[in-house]
Amino acid sequence: MPERTRRGATPPSPLAALSVLRSGGVGGLLRRRTVDVASLSAEQRAAVAALASSPPGAAGPDRFTFEVTITLADGTTRVVHVAEDAVPPALADILR
């Protein structure tokens, strides 16, 4: 049986995979990369979890946009679009 939190909710499934597609910028080039989730710090994992529930930022001309695909251990996948100016500081090195 899954572990329960104090309020009786099942805790979120652990992060299984993370991929990033960066687009935009002056040249409009695409860059895709897969992030080694085992190397993420607790702060970075928390920032990824926060991204999954945040609204997309506003994109601007010649700015990067990031398509972040978050896959949890239970197979659930969420795709989040993040504008360059909305990248959390804990994820700046990972996304850019």
Q: Quote the number of domains for the chain.
A: 1
Mean pLDDT value across residues 23-34: 87
Q: Which domain holds residue 52?
A: 15-95
State both tokens at 51.
Answer: 């991204």
- Note whether residue 68 is domain-resident: yes
pLDDT value at residue 4: 45
**If you search the block for the tokens 């002056």, which residue do you land on?**
26
Listed in sequence order, the residues at least 6 apart from 9 whose beta carbon sits closer than 8 Å to its beta carbon are none
- Note whether residue 63 is domain-resident: yes
Do 73 and 16 meet the contact criterion of CB atoms below 8 Å apart?
yes
Do 23 and 64 meet the contact criterion of CB atoms below 8 Å apart?
yes
Listed in sequence order, the residues at least 6 apart from 49 whose beta carbon sits closer than 8 Å to its beta carbon are 12, 15
Burial label for 82, CB within 10 Å (0-12, 13-18, 19+), is buried
- Note whether residue 46 is domain-resident: yes
- Note whether residue 1 is domain-resident: no
> Residue 3 pLDDT more than 60?
no
State both tokens at 41.
Answer: 């710090």
The residue type at 52: A
For the chain, the C-alpha Rg in angstroms (whole number) is 15
Instruction: Band the pLDDT of 1: cuts 50, 70, 90.
Output: very low
- Note whether residue 7 is domain-resident: no
Model confidence pTM above 0.85: no
- Note whether residue 85 is domain-resident: yes
- Note whether residue 8 is domain-resident: no
- Note whether residue 3 is domain-resident: no
